[in-house]
Structure 1
Amino acid sequence: MDVAVSTGSAPAGLHWQARAFFASAEKRLEAERSQLAPWAVVAFGGGIALWLVLADPVAWTSLLLFAAGLVLVGLVVGGRSGQVIASVALCAALGCALIWWRSGEVAAPRLDKPRMAAFEADVLRTERLVAKDSLRLTLAPSDPRLPPKFRVSLPLADAESLGPALGVGARIRLRARLAPPMPMALPGTHDFARDAWFMGLGATGRALGDVTIIEPAHESGLDRIRSRLDSHVRSRLSPAEGGIATALATGDQGSVTDSDAEAMRRSGLAHLLSVSGLHIAAVIGFFYLLVLRSLALFPAAALRWNLVALGFAVGALAGVGYTILTGLQVPTVRSCIAALLVLVGVLLGREAISLRLLATGALLILLIRPEAIAGASFQLSFAAVLTLVTLYGSPRFKAWFERREEGWARASLRSVGAMAATSLAIEFALMPFALYHFHRAGLYGVAANLIAIPLTTFVIMPLEAAALLLDVVGLGAPFWALTGWAIGLLLQVAHSVADTPGASTVLPAMPRLAFALIIGGGLWFGIWSTSWRWWAAAPLAAGILLTIAEPLPDLLITGDGKHLAVIDERGTPWLLRDRTGDFVRDLMAENAGFDGDPPPLAAYLQARCSADACVANLGDTGRTLLALRSTQWLDWTELTRACAAADIVVADRRLPRGCRGRWLTLDAPRLRETGGLVIDAEKGRVASVAERVNRLPWAGGGS
């Protein structure tokens, strides 16, 4: 009898708990009904992100079917809860379907292996890369055996010797070494092959020998304006100052010197070089105030016209023109759309910056370029704006920093406090993104931005705009001198902060799960407005703990087997080859969480190296490594004996069958399958690029 009562009450109890849960959810969702729309955009972006993470058509199909099931569940549940379940599932499915479709729509032929080629091609785009001392050309070749579009670099001195004839619209003849787009170098690093896929680039390479111009450049009006503006700005300032001024005027960061770019990154000021919301707002504000103040001098115009609306219209046109001039880059377009929505909202009497406005801007970008969600620029921009919306909507922030009738001293102090609080909040909000994408985050960025942002917005950009306008009548020289002085001050701030000990923190890797938890927690806190927003503390804490607990790898290996780094217990990466390019050196240092120049493996106390190979102990793991580093023929008996004594064998060639390590044998054929590797020898974990990209369209060899 007791048993019967017990078994019969369990379903009733579960049923009651389910009803109580949905009743509570209904109340919470009803209280948050104005915040529900942004979650649809989050779900849409989540579907795109899941497509990239799952990386397999079978998984994508399963996701779509699962989402369809959730839609049906939502319809059955009904009420506000059912609507949320159904709409979130539907939006996630639409996001997944959209990027799946776009990945096929942009597909273009690619090289499947390196080759030498002599060809004629039309120049589609030119990019000056001063830091790399090269000019990068985007070409459309006439040879049908080559991909329809690819990039080729040539020395900057050779390009400048050809003059303006080598520009957009030119037809050239050259010889180049072409290779497939560079794959992800190590698991979790930037995926250049993905960028190339969505840009339609089928190869990259470097010119060999002279470039012959068959037809000189006949640039379009916009390209001509951009090119002349670039040359004009750089001719008025020193190379260092001219590079920064060019980046602000045309969006071209290629003229920024390597040392200045590194200082801007380490000091947390790199965002000032990328044309985004700050620059668009400065341009719109400059022209708005110019029109408003100028027309206010004429009483007839002030009484007859709505000067605010007219100023906004001129500012909007200036913002659109600036966006077009800077090349319609995704961050700039995104910022321009957001700025225009703000202007429309203000004219309609609505709140200038809101979650709905932010969600609308994100949705427009994702509908056009869904792959943008994987980029650091997209994530950093929207995270910063969401932080601003959340902070400015806080009652406590308003109580402390909202403007009020008071003396100028207290008002100035309040403004500085608001700016400091804003910078601090944004710095903390963006730190996970900087660590995930760049393995580095600035620690003194708040102090640097307190000086740099007002300096750039209210001094440098207006001075540069005035100098360009006055150059029309030949009176711009004094303003160029002031612009150069202001940019010099900005660079002095950047270098001073960057050179300060502890200016930045480095992290070897942030697990994807930790990154997802932190993003989810941030969105939960930023979008909801009632007390349950504090539930975000759980995923945020879990993400931070997972990041801290992530162990250092013991071994990093590139996909070609030519380069590897042994990571010691202090996090120092010891490089196999003494002569290694800057890209690989930076790659190994970043993924080891090492702030410095990696030393050679031959100098490592636990390694023995010859001209042909290195044998190294992997810290306290008890594992040993044998890495070949020459192309010379090796005695078969000695080689097989050395292989048998090592746990891991790495070579950039095919090894004989008799050469096998006790745990892993990674020769050229095997590494072509796996791509770059991150190895935790102590726990026996191996992460590969192949696992990351799996069956994504750009993971194969070519078409």
Structure 2
Amino acid sequence: MRAAVLAFLLGIFLLQQQASLPDRRWLLLLPVALAVALACSLCRRPWLRLAALAVTGFAVGFLWAQLRAELRLADALSAAWEGRDVEVVGVVASLPRLLEHGTRFEFDVEAISPADAQVPSRLALTWYRRGEENGVRIPPVSGGERWRFTVRLRRPHGTANPHGFDYEAWLLERGIRATGYVRDQAPSARLGEDGRPSSRVLRAREAVRERLRTVLEGRPYAGVIAALAIGDQDAIPRSQWEVFTRTGVNHLMSISGLHITMVSGLVFGLVHALWRRIPPLALRLPSSKAAVLAGAVAAFGYALLAGFAVPTQRTFYMLAVVALAVWTGRVQSPSRVLATALFVVMGMDPWAVLSPGFWLSFGAVAVIFYVSAGRLGTATRLSHWVRIQGAVTLALVPLLLALFQQFSLVSPVANALAIPVVSLAVVPLTLAGALLPLDVFLVIAHELMAACGAVLERLSVAPAAVWQQHAPPAWSVPLAVVGVLWLLLPRGFPARWMGAVLLLPLALVSAERPGAGELWVDVLDVGQGLAVVARTERHTLVYDTGPAFGRDADSGGRVVVPFLRGEGVRRLDALVVSHDDADHAGGTRSVLATVPVARMWSSLADGHPLLAPDHPLSSAAAEHRRCRAGERWEWDGVRFEFLSPAPADYADSRRDDNDLSCVLKIEAAGGGALLAGDIGRAVERRLADTQADRLATTLLVAPHHGSSGSSSPAFVAAARPRAVVFTVGYRNPFGHPRAEVVDRFKALGAAVYRSDRDGALHARFTAQQGMTVIAYRAAARRYWHLP
């Protein structure tokens, strides 16, 4: 049975790696595979039964995942209806999230107009407050309400970068098949409250959220209390998330599997102790079964309070399997129970294998069973708990490095403090305060969390709090998992030290770097903006950092830093901020706050906040200089030179920020790149007239994203690129790149790349092969990505 479940997992995992779904006719084999599986279970020869069940389990997993994928992809927005007004009637299906400029929520569609519009059943909508500037009042939206909106939608689309977050996969798992916004120009109407149980639960959760805001207003850890009570992780400030991540306790700061298990266990223990002391009840139903039932109900209630999100569902399914096994008296083996839970979770949610939480949660439970089974001996509870915590911490290192390229070195100490405080004190008090009209519970929970948070903050700033490295080779991860299991074998097992040897490739196999004289240029996908990473043999330069998305989110933290970490870049030799536009400089704060920078070049004015002497980031770069035409240097046989702006340009107060963009030329033996920022035709004309010989390049990042006011014929003719990259957002409102600009480059025979279509672009320049370009979306395509 365990082999069949692991094969089932492998089949599902393999399907999720496909660039496109197999032919639908293969689905006809699903009932055949199920019948074969049933027949194989009756085989008498153990080895034959094991092999047959494994093969059949793999086939069933693959075909089941394909069937679910076909059904989910069928619920899609037609490309013909992107960007068009559609009237939808439905129910607000999530807690509305308050943004700086509006409200975001999920929406279950019940009716559409016009009737022939192809609109999916669940949407993610944003209602911007920008209409208030025109006198349009945006009414509050609450969960469980029925509304009529006029919306504009687009198909799921996110940025695509190595080591980055796959937003499209995240939407697919949650059944959200289109995103969009509410039109201010069209009337919207609240049609009343939905009476379904799910909507009633949603309204109850929102009432709890409002009460928490009232009771804990102004308190620093109010967001953590809200996350622990109703799963509202968005309420936790980014600075606190960074502390929790650096200390390895971020899994505790939401309604995690551990908390649901703890609450279920507390209810189990309480009911078991009381039930057996009441003879009439104990005679009708054994106390163990009553306690199991009560614990399962408590877990379900807590999961509902959390919104029954996908990660919470996985935890509840696992507990439900354990509860059923205890109820029926079939707890024969912990590994069988775990395998059954794994089968149920994957059957309900085939996309769970795409979630880091799936691997970390099941991995942690598997390790606990592995080190506990038959090894208790005479160990005290404390020593046994310490040993389990150490085993789990060690066992998760390969997964954490593969998924996030970092793990917390202070995690054992931080978790030893945070687990008992948060799980055994803060969570029960938070739930008591949320369900009972007693504010004192919430206040005490907050103060305990604040005291714990103060210690975590001190741990997070320790010099060696976090181990960060490049993404390990794929082959080294399963090898390291075997090494961990070998190390955790019982005492007395010979040559346990060999397990440590199998862990070495995780860190010792270095990330690939350019050779001497070679140049790598990565044009990252940051939507409507620009971020470029240029690497030589021993140096790294970042040109622009992409847009900011709000006070606590920008592409520097979401795209640039994860890419640098995954590629093994621990410091920057140079950071160039081409000019003061939010889509080019918006991520600079996150980069400066995370990665050491030796030198920073920019065209920013002296009074810019990033350069102010009292700004905490002003000293993050060891040196700051202004870009000036003619400044050049060489790294590892690769030449760098600024072509613009000229020194006199800074004295011209009438000059637009775009025209002050730092224009950087990079040349290597196999070709080079020209990074032109947002310069317009005036600067292009000057460069074409005075430095035409310097403009010629192999790869051009198109000026100003391919706007009609850039890439003039003279500039394009002087640059003569073999390839041009337009860094644009999907369906951006500016219409970039303009068709006439694209045609201009095509007429020269240049290969045209677009970040919205191709994702990140990786260009290699070598003397032997010249320039080669790899589009990330093509190399890492999955069936849910847009064609």
User: TM-score normalised by the shorter chain: which range applies?
Assistant: 0.7 to 0.9
1:548 aligns with 2:473: no
CA shift digits 1:622-675 (9 cap, x unpaired): 753212322733449829947863332222328677476666433464225532
Aligned positions, number: 639
Do 2:546 and 2:555's aligned partners in 1 also have CA atoms closer than 8 Å?
A: no
- Structure 1: give runs of 5+ residues left out of the alignment: 1-36, 404-410
Are the aligned partners of 2:13 and 2:353 in contact in 1 as well (CA < 8 Å)?
Answer: yes
CA distance in 2, matches of 1:268, 1:291: 33
Structure 2 CA distance for aligned equivalents of residues 571 and 642 of structure 1: 26
In structure 2, distance between residues paired with 1:465 and 1:511: 43
**In structure 2, do the counterparts of structure 1 residues 52 and 618 end up closer, same or farther at CA, with 3 Å as the change threshold?**
farther
Cα distance in structure 1, aligned partners of 2:484 and 2:342: 16
Aligned residue for 1:383, secondary structure, equals: helix
Relative to structure 1, the CA distance from residue 55 to residue 455 in structure 2 (aligned partners, 3 Å threshold; closer, same or farther) is: same
Residue in 2 that maps onto 1:153: 126
Is 1:232 the equivalent of 2:211?
yes
- The offset of 1:515, in angstroms, is 4.4
Relative to structure 1, the CA distance from residue 169 to residue 381 in structure 2 (aligned partners, 3 Å threshold; closer, same or farther) is same
CA distance in 2, matches of 1:209, 1:111: 23
The residue correspondences of 1:32-181 to structure 2 (distance < 5 A) are: 37-57=1-21, 82-107=48-73, 108-110=75-77, 112=79, 115=83, 117=85, 119-129=87-97, 135-139=103-107, 140=109, 142-144=112-114, 145=117, 147-148=119-120, 149-154=122-127, 166-173=142-149, 178-181=153-156
Equivalent-residue separation in structure 2 for 1:162 and 1:352 (angstroms): 58
Asked whether 1:675 is paired with 2:759, we answer yes
Measured at CA, do residues 567 and 478 of structure 1 come closer, stay the same or move farther in structure 2, by a change above 3 Å? Answer: same
SS in 2 for 1:459: helix
Q: Which moved more, 1:580-589 or 1:144-153?
A: 144-153
- Structure 1 pair 526/289, CA: closer, same or farther in 2 (3 Å)? same
CA distance, structure 2, for counterparts of residue 352 and residue 79 of structure 1 = 22
Does 2:570 match 1:598?
no
> Which amino acid in 1 is paired with 2:697?
A
Q: Which residue of 1 aligns with 2:191?
A: 215
Q: Confirm or deny that 1:638 pairs with 2:688.
A: yes
Correspondent of 2:778 among 691, 694, 698: 691
Instruction: Identify the match of residue 362 of structure 1 among 342, 354, 357.
Output: 342
1:249 shift after superposition = 2.1
Give me the whole-angstrom Cα distance separating, in 1, the residues matched to 2:236 and 2:301. 23
Distance in 1 of aligned mates of 2:478 and 2:662: 39
Following TM superposition, by how much is the alpha carbon of 1:304 offset from its aligned partner in structure 2, in angstroms? 7.7
Q: Is the 8 A contact 1:127 1:254 kept in 2?
A: no
TM-score (normalizing by structure 2): 0.69
Q: Name the SS of the counterpart of 1:53 in structure 2.
A: coil
Structure 2 CA distance for aligned equivalents of residues 97 and 299 of structure 1: 51
* SS across alignment from 1:558: coil
Taking structure 1 as reference, are residues 49 and 344 closer, same or farther at Cα in structure 2, changes over 3 Å only? closer
- SS of structure 1 residue aligned to 2:145: coil
Q: 2:648 aligns to what?
A: none
What is the aligned partner in structure 2 of residue 286 from structure 1? Answer: 266
What's the CA shift for 1:204? 2.2
The SS at the match of 2:301 is helix
Q: Secondary structure at the match of 1:670?
A: strand
Residue of structure 2 in register with 1:562 after alignment: 529
How far, CA to CA, are the matches of 2:253 and 2:472 in structure 1? 26
Distance 1:132 1:548 in 2: 42
Matched residue SS, 1:150: strand
- Counterpart for residue 465 of structure 1: 431
Cross-structure match for 2:725 = 666
Alpha-carbon contact 2:470-2:511 (below 8 Å) kept: no
Judge conservation of contact 2:409–2:467 (CA < 8 Å) in 1.
Answer: yes
Residues 303 and 79 of structure 1, relative CA distance in 2, 3 Å threshold: closer
- In 2, Cα distance between the equivalents of 1:538 and 1:461? 37
Give the distance between the partners of 1:546 and 1:261, measured in 2 at CA: 30
Aligned to 2:372: 392
Distance 1:687 1:386, change over 3 A: farther
Encode CA deviations 1:9-32: one digit per residue, 9 max, x unaligned: xxxxxxxxxxxxxxxxxxxxxxxx
Instruction: Name 2:573's counterpart in structure 1.
Output: none
SS in 1 for 2:784: helix
Following superposition, the deviation at residue 216 of structure 1 comes to 4.1
Counterpart for residue 653 of structure 1: 706
Partner of 1:454: 420
Equivalent residue of 1:280, what SS?
A: helix
What is the distance in 1 between the residues matched to 2:666 and 2:351? 39
Does the C-alpha gap of structure 1 residues 577 and 362 become closer, same or farther in structure 2, counting only changes over 3 Å?
closer
| Unmatched segments (≥5 aa) in structure 2 | 515-519, 571-588, 593-599, 603-624, 628-632, 634-639, 646-657, 727-736, 738-751
Q: Which residue of the partner structure matches residue 7 of structure 1?
A: none
**1:417-436 to 2 correspondence within 5 Å?**
417-436=383-402
Which stretch shifts more, 504-513 or 221-230?
A: 504-513
- 8 A Cα contact 2:77 2:178, kept in partner: yes
Query: Aligned to 2:263, what secondary structure does the other structure show?
Result: helix
Deviation at 1:311, TM superposition (A): 2.3
Distance 1:578 1:152, change over 3 A: closer
Q: Which amino acid aligns with 2:555?
A: V
1:541-561 CA-to-partner distances (Å, cap 9, x unmatched) read: 485168633448652421757
Per the alignment, residue 626 of structure 1 pairs with: 674
CA distance in 2 between partners of 1:642 and 1:522 (Å): 58
Paired residues of 1:40 and 1:88 also in contact (CA < 8 A)? yes
Counterparts of 1:573-612 in structure 2 under 5 Å?
574-576=542-544, 580-581=548-549, 582-586=553-557, 587-593=559-565, 597-598=590-591, 602=602, 606=640, 608=642, 610=645, 611=658
C-alpha separation between the residues in 1 aligned to 2:723 and 2:774?
13
Query: Distance in 1 between the 2:509 and 2:315 partners?
Result: 31
Partner of 1:700: 786
C-alpha distance in 2 between matches for 1:642 and 1:368: 62
Q: Distance in 2 between matches of 1:679 and 1:530?
A: 52
Distance across 1 between alignment mates of 2:507 and 2:13: 23
Separation in 2, partners of 1:181, 1:45: 26
* Higher mean C-alpha displacement, 637-646 vs 181-190: 637-646
Q: Is the 8 A contact 1:130 1:256 kept in 2?
A: no
- The offset of 1:283, in angstroms, is 1.3
Q: Are residues 538 and 257 of structure 1, via their aligned partners in 2, closer, same or farther at CA, if it must alter by over 3 Å?
A: closer
Q: Which residue of 2 aligns with 1:487?
A: 449
Instruction: Give the Å deviation of 1:205.
Output: 3.4
Larger RCO (CA within 8 A; separation ≥ 6): 1
**2:168 maps to which residue?**
193
Task: Please give the alpha-carbon distance, in whole angstroms, between the structure 1 residues aligned to 2:3 and 2:504.
Answer: 22
Cα distance in 1, alignment partners of residues 227 and 131 from structure 2 = 23
State the 1:323 CA deviation: 2.0
Relative to its length, the structure with more helix (as a share) is 1
- Counterpart of 1:626, as a letter, is L
What are the within-5 Å matches in structure 2 for residues 240-251 of structure 1? 240-251=220-231
**Hey, what does 2:619 align to over in structure 1?**
none
Aligned partners of 1:650 and 1:665 also within 8 Å: yes
Q: How much does 1:250 deviate?
A: 1.9
Residues 301-335 of structure 1 show CA distances to partners (whole Å, capped at 9, x for unaligned) of 66886333322221221112222332222322222
Alignment root-mean-square deviation, CA: 4.6
Secondary structure, in 3 states, of the residue corresponding to 2:675?
A: strand
* Alignment check: 8 A CA contact 2:489 2:496 kept: no
CA distance in 2, matches of 1:281, 1:304: 27
Once the two structures are superposed, what CA deviation does each residue of 1:542-583 show, in whole Å capped at 9, x if it has no partner? Answer: 851686334486524217573222245677662326865443
* 1:390-440 C-alpha deviation (Å, 9 max, x unpaired): 222374xx35xx54xxxxxxx5xx60x433333332223323333333343
Distance 1:521 1:180, change over 3 A: farther
Q: Which residue of 2 aligns with 1:13?
A: none
Amino acid paired to 1:41: V
**Alpha-carbon distance, 1:182 to partner:** 2.3
Q: Which amino acid aligns with 1:698?
A: W
Q: Is the 8 A contact 1:184 1:689 kept in 2?
A: no
Change (3 A) 1:226 1:301: same
1:430/1:173 Cα in 2 relative to 1: closer, same or farther (>3 Å)? same
Residues 243, 255 of structure 1: 8 Å contact kept: yes
Q: How much does 1:356 deviate?
A: 1.6
Output one character per residue of 1:35-94: Cα deviation in whole Å (capped at 9) or x when no partner: xx32322222222222232424569999999x99xx99x99xx96555444433332222
Task: Judge conservation of contact 1:241–1:487 (CA < 8 Å) in 2.
Answer: yes
Following superposition, the deviation at residue 508 of structure 1 comes to 4.6
